[in-house]
Amino acid sequence: MPVSGQAGVGAAAALDPVTIAGRLIRCPSVTPAEAGAIDVLVSALEPLGFACRRLRFEEPETDPIDNLYARVGTDGPHFCFAGHTDVVPVGDTAAWSVDPFGGSVRDGLLWGRGAADMKGGIAAFVAAAARVIGERGGQLPGSISLLITGDEEGPAVNGTTKVLDWMEAEGEIPDACVVGEPTNPAVLGDMMKIGRRGSLTGRLTVHGTQGHVAYPHLAENPVHHLLRMLEPFAHGRLDEGTAHFQPSTLAVTTIDVGNAATNVIPARATAVFNIRFNDAHSADSLERMLRASFDQKGGRYELTTECSGEAFVTEPGRLSTLLSDAVESVVGRRPELSTTGGTSDARFIRRLCPVVEFGLVGQTMHKVDERVAVDDIRALTDIYAAMLRRFFA
């Protein structure tokens, strides 16, 4: 892949992360819309010497997605930053105290959809890269790249997974990656994600025989079978946890019978559940465990499962230490190494290189009046810059 050599030193000194974040927020990039967010990044990155590739992927019955891969430098070591410019819908606009796509600064806070998740984090990394490139006179002893998708908040079909396939085909294999998700629960520096639990959704349909409730011996009640089959999992925990993970959990999210009559035993009943699982399990082992348990309870049933990501962990080592040292040097605290929370695109990236996640405070992500402290955006820029200096040391 052709990449630029000499970077623009003058451009490097001019990038302000809060300004970039505000410009990104003003792009209403609700999945799958790109809404100009990639253009904002390209306009900031190209003057720094980044070669930018706009990668558009689509499949039948899916929305086409625009992604960005940008790299400066041709040699190793190669550091990659990953993030997403797509955001969730704003909901009731009238409930917001500001324009959700205004990107305004008020009371020391940057407001708008995506401020925390995760346009603020992307802006901080771009500004940090610019700073480090400028410090080195435009010449890096390695490479920096950005993998930016527009399909993280959606089905994740035409986003990071396809960019990774393209990177493999092009020989664009990073040595390390940081995903800029808002990992901190309360204060910048609280938490780094070194892995994520897996997520498996199951749909259990139990069949019976419809009949009159006054003559239950002439019917077979699937609801009763369903409750017996789910009872072993009613406590929610599947294990006691592992070295880096909390216990795996199963939560029933809905039970549907579709029966409007109070005097009829229904013919079928369906339950949907989700398992968040640690590295003691895989999607296949969980399905085998479920079927073995359901078989013991009897009854005619169908079970389908869908796994959106297996559990994974990047063992504490050079990458987590490098980033922890950078965090401590800026904010004076070392982040907890955690695997809590939902899923992220790190579950895909881990097949190419070691990956951890660190970004802004996530208290308002996906909420009305999403916002982040301007000082946190600037401090995160300092952290990312310190991380890059250590990486290239």
The structure tokens listed for 313 are 């962990």
39 Cβ neighbours under 8 A, 6+ residues apart: none
pLDDT for residue 343 = 86
pLDDT for residue 3 = 35
221 residue type, one letter: N
What's the CA gap between 15 and 12, in Å, rounded?
Answer: 6
pLDDT for residue 200 = 97
Q: What are phi and psi of 354, to 5 degrees?
A: -60, 140
84 contacts 161 by C-beta, under 8 angstroms: no
What's the CA gap between 34 and 31, in Å, rounded?
Answer: 7
The structure tokens listed for 185 are 């629960």
Burial of 137 (0-12, 13-18, 19+ CB in 10 A): exposed
- pLDDT per residue over 256-310, tens digit each? 999 999 999 999 999 999 999 999 999 999 999 999 999 999 889 999 999 999 9
The domains of the chain, with CATH numbers, are 9-196+311-392 (3.40.630.10), 198-309 (3.30.70.360)
116 Cβ neighbours under 8 A, 6+ residues apart: 182, 360, 361, 362, 363, 364, 365, 370, 371, 372
Q: Which residues carry out catalysis? A: 86, 152
pLDDT, tens digit only, all 393 positions of the chain: 333 344 444 554 569 999 999 999 999 999 999 999 999 999 999 999 999 999 999 999 999 999 999 999 999 999 999 999 999 999 999 999 999 999 999 999 999 999 999 999 999 999 999 999 999 999 999 999 999 999 999 888 999 999 999 999 999 999 999 999 999 999 999 999 999 999 999 999 999 999 999 999 999 999 999 999 999 999 989 999 999 999 999 999 999 999 999 999 999 999 999 999 999 999 999 999 999 999 999 889 999 999 999 999 999 999 999 999 999 999 999 999 999 988 899 999 999 999 999 999 999 999 999 999 999 999 999 999 999 999 999
What's the CA gap between 93 and 52, in Å, rounded?
Answer: 34
Q: What is the DSSP letter of 209?
A: B
What's the CA gap between 119 and 70, in Å, rounded?
Answer: 16
pLDDT for residue 14 = 64
What's the CA gap between 269 and 249, in Å, rounded?
Answer: 23
Please give the span between the terminal C-alpha atoms of the chain, in angstroms, as a whole number. Answer: 25
Q: What are phi and psi of 298, to 5 degrees?
A: 75, -175
pLDDT for residue 5 = 41
293 residue type, one letter: S
